[in-house]
Amino acid sequence: MNNVRQLLQTKGKDVWSITPGTSVLDALKLMADKNIGALMVIDGERLAGIFSERDYARKVTLKGKSSRELTVAEIMTTDVISVRPEQTIVDCMELMTEKRIRHLPVIDAGRTVGVISIGDVVKSIISVQKDTITHLEEYITGRR
């Protein structure tokens, strides 16, 4: 698996999303239900932002605000970093490490077609490395 398109074919293309007007509490409930760490915030057809556990911890909990009264729009991350389906997994790992982010929306022709997490990227890289090691061992030992 070398690129984002291949990764999405393996992991699935589910995009869990909310609208900007969703309450923070409802967003947290959805994240807990789906066992995910971030939601895409979609306004109409447009990706307006990302709401993550980090947004909640830093912008609600530490500031003593109420998650019942706040909307996602008030605390979501709006400077969204995304990738295209043809980008490599290594590109994604470098981008996530450099920008210190855990989730990347995948945008194709202006639409959000998937989301990859740091866990997805690491799992993919480990899989490729295992395959490479197996092929090298077979080559060295002549088991091919």
pLDDT band at 144 (very low <50, low <70, confident <90, very high): low
In the numeric block, which tokens belong to residue 144?
Answer: 């091919």
pLDDT, tens digit (0-9, with 9 covering 90-100), for 27-81: 999 999 999 999 999 998 899 999 999 999 888 877 777 888 899 999 999 999 9
pLDDT at site 45: 85
In the numeric block, which tokens belong to residue 128?
Answer: 């490729």
CA distance 53 to 118: 14
pLDDT band at 132 (very low <50, low <70, confident <90, very high): confident
- The domain locations on the chain are 4-141
Q: What string of DSSP letters covers 42-105?
A: EETTEEEEEEEHHHHIIIIITTT--TTT-BHHHHSB-S---B-TTSBHHHHHHHHHHHT-SEEE
In the numeric block, which tokens belong to residue 143?
Answer: 């088991």
Quote the pTM value: 0.83
Torsions phi, psi of 8, nearest 5? Answer: -65, -35
pLDDT at site 91: 95
CATH among 3.10.580.10, 3.40.50.1000, 3.30.70.600, 3.30.9.10 for 4-141: 3.10.580.10
Closest CA to 112 of 30, 4, 22, 10: 4
pLDDT, tens digit (0-9, with 9 covering 90-100), for 112-130: 999 999 999 999 988 878 8
pLDDT at site 112: 93
